[in-house]
Structure 1
Amino acid sequence: MTSIKRFRTALAALLLAGGLTACGGGDDAGGDVTLRFSWWGNADRAALMQQSIDLFQAAHPTITVTPSFQEFEAYWQKMATETAGGNAPDVLQMDFAYLREYADRNVLLDLKKTGVKVDDLIPAFQGVGEVNGALYGIPTGGNTWCMFYNPKLLTEAGVEEPRTGITWDQYHALLDTVSKKGAGRTYGGSNYRSVIYSFESYLLQAGATLYTGGGKLGFSKQQLIDYWTVGKQYIDDGRFIPSEKVAQIEPASPITKDLIATEFRWDNFFARYASETEAELKIGPVPVTTAGGPTGQYLKPAMLLSASARTDHPDEAAKLISFLINDPQVGRIFGSNRGIPATNAQRDAAVLEGPALAIAEYEEAIAPLLQKAPPAPPKGAGTIEAAFLRIADEISYGRSSVPDAVDTFFTEAEDTLAG
């Protein structure tokens, strides 16, 4: 029985009966304070956030929270404008991809200098949000890289379901068997080697990283040549679904159309994929280079909470952040909306069902195998991710050789990081 199942009934009763909170209550010292709080999301998340804010204000009656939200792209445009003008909100939602950029601009508060409570974060999230020793963001939840698979297609091909510890050699044999059995109708998988996060798993298993702590590429040209060469080989021998077939069904994933048996994605995609297909899908492990070796998996923050370096109310901002990541009622309100919760108290309180429960149980099962999250990516990481996919596609379509594609990628990536 998972901890989520074990505690759900008891904690739900406590929450309903006694209004249990993790961050205390009662009046706050000093006069009334207003905090501006900005985050991204839609109307559904806005309703959940307002419920959580109402609980916080009830526990801290001298603090008023003024919320503001936008869709993701509009949110970051607004943040760029407000931080440049010295008018950032007191508390703001932060994306892991932007954390280092905003930290390097000195617009975020070092939360280690406040009373923010982080002692209940699950082990995989301890220290996540730090840049150069300062704590600039606290994760609200997270996800990990994993394999989705269709057990029916595997069974039809006479292949066992993948288990923890499966090696890349065994996985590549699975691809070959399923694709040959599929005879052009179904395939073992798609070209995972065109996705930068699969490459990151490969690097982490080898003791390397995508980026150094100093914001440079953390791997060599030869490592990428070797990686993309294998991808090209599997395109040519038919283990991967042809890129043309993938393009015909976009934006749908081929696994939701029963065209492939496996696909690598962040586990929070599982709920969406499961809703887009009649087939049963399951979550499986990332293959390893050596049996018993490192998985290259870590928990990536779905989002973080940060505070402005210019806030006039750092202690109150820390109280709001602490409440939103620790309070069990908040965990129960949000469930998996912000990713599987980052603290033990909220994980135990969250009522998770269907795909969300499957994700939570998967993360719990692999928790002992997770590695520490790599440093926050440098500015321009999103541009580099897109370039990786675009240039790998040039190989897939036969428009570029692997060595030329690697040279192009390094030129673009290094220019982006230098800019």
Structure 2
Amino acid sequence: MLHAGTIDDALYGIATGINVHAIIADPQAFADAGVEMPDDTTWTWDDYEQIATDISAGSADGGYGVQNYSFIEPVLKIIARQKGEEVFTADGEVGVSAATVEEFFQRSVDLQSAGGEPDASVSTEIQAAGVEGSLPATNKGAMAWFWSNQLNAVQTASGRDLVLLRAPGESEFERTGEYFKPSMYYSVSAKSEHPEESQLLVDFPINSNAAGELILSDRGLPANTEVRAHVLPMLSDADKLSAEFVENLQDVVEDGTPVPPVGAGEVPDITSRINSDVLFGKITPAQAAEQWIDEVTKAIS
């Protein structure tokens, strides 16, 4: 997590807390469709597509296997890392290939065509409905991609016991793609007139059990593992599950992602807009990949 706030070997920010992007799954939806829960330590991307399609086919109430993942880019980051790439390099440039971006969009098209995820109109409505309007939250689907700290909100809305699954493909390639994401950072200006006091201010929420008891998981799971262990008994059942999930990934996550360059804040809007055009058939995944790389490159230039 220190690496996640480091640029050119200098530490610029300390993570307030951490999350991972993963799949929130509804075991009851799997059971109702007659589909077994996957072994998330070995399942592949093809397994993911097949399972989602089988769930849709087996759901008597018109439920879906999975919610569309390509309105935002965290899954692209995972896929890129599995292939030895990064969406952004340490030098602040686009580091993902057009082939990988095309594959990212193509899986959405394939799932839509096979019925594993909703059509373009329904997917757009679900995306706009937010966390509590997601497929698992409304008992209308078995899987959706979220940050791990969102499990509590989705589970509360669903009224069911949900679980977290690792990204597909983690054992399929030469390396893993999951990464720990800082919720946000604490930083101090180099021009601060009170550097020592500022250090104390940052030290308190990061390293104090007392602060941990107040913050709990509001800023993600505490990055300080000792504080995390201290507050664990105070967390909700869903947050405890998230904490265990993150803990189990410590030997799987190989490294952090480079600090994104200035302009990267435009990427979610770019991704969402292009994905909408893909889902509605206005452009092909190959065209989307070229457009995505072109627009993102301009945004960070």
TM-score, normalized by the shorter chain, greater than 0.5? yes
Change (3 A) 1:303 1:227: closer
Alignment equivalent of 2:65, drawn from 188, 210, 215: 188
Whichever residue aligns with residue 222 of structure 2, its letter is P
Q: Considering only aligned residues, what root-mean-square deviation do their CA atoms show, in Å? A: 1.8
- Cα offset, 1:191, TM superposition: 2.1
Provide the C-alpha distance between the structure 2 equivalents of 1:363 and 1:222, rounded to a whole number of angstroms.
30
Aligned to 1:307: 188
CA deviation after TM superposition for structure 1 residue 381, in Å: 1.2
Instruction: Tell me which residue corresponds to 2:55.
Output: 178
The match for 1:63 is none
Which residue pairs with 2:197 in the alignment? 316
Q: Tell me whether 1:364 sits opposite 2:247 in the alignment.
A: yes
- Which residue is equivalent to 1:168? 45
- Deviation, structure 1 residue 343: 0.7
The Cα shift of 1:154 comes to: 0.5
Equivalent residue number for residue 262 of structure 1: 143
Structure 2 partner of 1:373: 256
Residue 167 of structure 2 corresponds to: 286
| Whole-angstrom distance in 1 between the partners of 2:181 and 2:65 | 27
Structure 2 counterpart of 1:14? none
| Number of corresponding residues | 294
State the partner residue of 1:221: 98
Structure-2 change in CA distance of 1:163 and 1:257 (3 Å): same
Task: Assess if the C-alpha contact under 8 Å between 1:246 and 1:254 holds in 2.
Answer: no
Which letter maps to 1:128?
A
- Aligned partner of 1:405 in structure 2 is 288
| Cα offset, 1:168, TM superposition | 1.5
Answer whether contact 1:295 1:370 (CA < 8 A) is retained: yes
1:205 and 2:88 matched: no
The answer on 1:415 being equivalent to 2:298 is: yes
Between 1:388-397 and 1:235-244, the stretch displaced more is 235-244
Query: CA offset at residue 256 of structure 1?
Result: 1.1
- Structure of larger gyration radius: 1
Aligned to 2:8: 132
The alpha-carbon deviation at position 142 of structure 1 amounts to: 0.8
Structure 1 residue 163, shift from structure 2 partner: 2.7
User: Aligned-pair distance for 1:184?
Assistant: 7.5
Query: How far has the Cα of 1:340 moved from its partner?
Result: 0.8
Tell me which residue corresponds to 2:225.
344
| TM-superposed deviation, 1:353 | 2.2
Partner of 1:388: 271
Measured against aligned partners, the alpha-carbon deviations of 1:363-408 in whole angstroms (never above 9, x if no partner) come to 1122211221111111111211221121011110112222332232
Alignment of 1:150-169 (within 5 A): 150-165=26-41, 166-169=43-46
- Percent identical: 26
Q: Distance in 1 between matches of 2:68 and 2:9?
A: 37
Which 5+ residue runs of structure 1 have no aligned equivalent? Answer: 1-124
CA offset digits 1:238-283 (Å, max 9, x no partner): 1112232234454111221122111111111112112222232211
1:162–1:285 Cα contact (<8 Å) kept: no
Residue pair 2:124, 2:276 contacting (<8 A) in 1 also: no
Instruction: Give the AA of the match of 2:137.
Output: T
Whole-angstrom CA distance in 2 between matches of 1:241 and 1:142:
31
Q: Is the 8 A contact 2:71 2:276 kept in 1?
A: yes
CA deviation digits over 1:280-307, x for unaligned, max 9?
2211111115448533111111121110
Q: Does 1:236 align with 2:119?
A: no
1:143 and 2:19 are equivalent in the alignment: yes
Correspondence for 1:327 = 208
* Post-superposition offset of 1:195: 2.9
CA contact 1:153–1:261 (8 Å) conserved in 2:
yes
Task: Give secondary structure in 1 for the equivalent of 2:183.
Answer: strand
**What do residues 185-239 of structure 1 show as CA deviations (whole Å, max 9, x unaligned)?**
1111022244311111001111110011111110122222233223212211211
Specify whether residues 215 and 181 from structure 1 end up closer, same or farther in structure 2 by C-alpha distance, changes over 3 A only: same
Unaligned runs of 5+ in 2: none
Residue number among 146, 155, 177 corresponding to 1:274 in the alignment = 155
| Counterpart AA for 1:323 | F
Q: What SS class does the counterpart of residue 290 from structure 2 fall into?
A: helix
Q: 1:231 to 1:247 in 2, by over 3 A?
A: closer
Q: Which runs of 4+ in 1 moved over 3 A?
A: 246-250, 289-295
Question: TM-score normalized by structure 2?
Answer: 0.91
Query: What is the CA-CA distance between 1:316 and the residue it aligns to?
Result: 2.0
Deviations 1:61-96 (A, max 9, x none): xxxxxxxxxxxxxxxxxxxxxxxxxxxxxxxxxxxx
**Secondary structure of 1:255's aligned partner:** coil
- 409 and 127 in structure 1: CA distance in 2 versus 1, 3 angstrom threshold: closer
